[in-house]
Structure 1
Amino acid sequence: MSDTFAAMQRTLTSPAETHYAITPSDTADLSPVPRALYVSASGTAVLVDRSGTELSYDLTAGTTLPLRARRVKATGTTAQLIAWV
């Protein structure tokens, strides 16, 4: 399959090229760190950013959270998330 955009430079505002389902963990960082999170099922997500700050978000299914979270904590997370890289 031909990819017209293969030679284009990627930036943080470019569309994601890969994705993976997130399994929340209180100890393991996401790898690779995603450029955004897609909420596939509503709930709460406890996220840790690159500086180590931990915050809880109430999320609605179908929304995109433009945060490069380094970890999604298992404790307190009920939402289902997909990483966009």
Structure 2
Amino acid sequence: MADIFSSHNIDVAAPAAGAFAITPSDGTIFDQPTRALYVGAAGTIEAEMLWGGTVTFEGVPGGFMLPVRVRRVLSGTTAGFIVGLY
């Protein structure tokens, strides 16, 4: 299938072009940093941001799109069915 948008620049506001399932782990650094996280089941997200530092997002609802650039989702995460979008 031809991509009619292939000549357009990809910027931070553009839709995601790829995705991967995330299993929280303190040891796994993603091959591709995310542009956003889709959270399928409510909970807490503990993540390491792209440029360093860790952050905890409390009370993230299920079905929520969290627009963050992260390099890993840590094992203290209680949210489920997380998808990394890039």
TM-score of the aligned structures, taking structure 2 as reference length: 0.88
- Structure 2 unaligned residues grouped into runs of 5+: none
Residue in structure 2 matched with residue 48 of structure 1 by the alignment: 48
| Residue in 2 that maps onto 1:34 | 34
The root-mean-square deviation of aligned C-alpha atoms, in Å, is: 1.2
For the residues of structure 2 that align with 1:42 and 1:71, how far apart are their CA atoms? 18
Give every structure 1 segment of 4 or more consecutive aligned residues whose post-TM-superposition deviation is greater than 2 Å: none
- Aligned partner letter, 1:84: L
Are residues 47 and 6 of structure 1, via their aligned partners in 2, closer, same or farther at CA, if it must alter by over 3 Å? same
- Structure 2 counterpart of 1:69, one-letter code: V
SS in structure 2 of the partner of residue 64 of structure 1: strand
> What is the TM-score of this pair, normalised by structure 1?
0.89
- 1:29-76 CA-to-partner distances (Å, cap 9, x unmatched) read 1221011111111111111112321111121011111110111001x2
Q: Distance between the aligned counterparts of 2:57 and 2:40, measured in 1?
A: 14
Partner of 2:62: 61
How many residues end up aligned between the 2 structures? 84
Distance 1:54 1:31 in 2: 18
| Mapping of residues 12-23 of structure 1, within 5 Å | 12-23=12-23
- Structure with bigger strand share is 2
The runs of 5 or more residues in structure 1 that have no matched partner are: none
Letter in 1 for 2:66: L
- Opposite residue 28 of structure 1, the aligned amino acid is T
| Aligned: 1:73 with 2:74 | yes
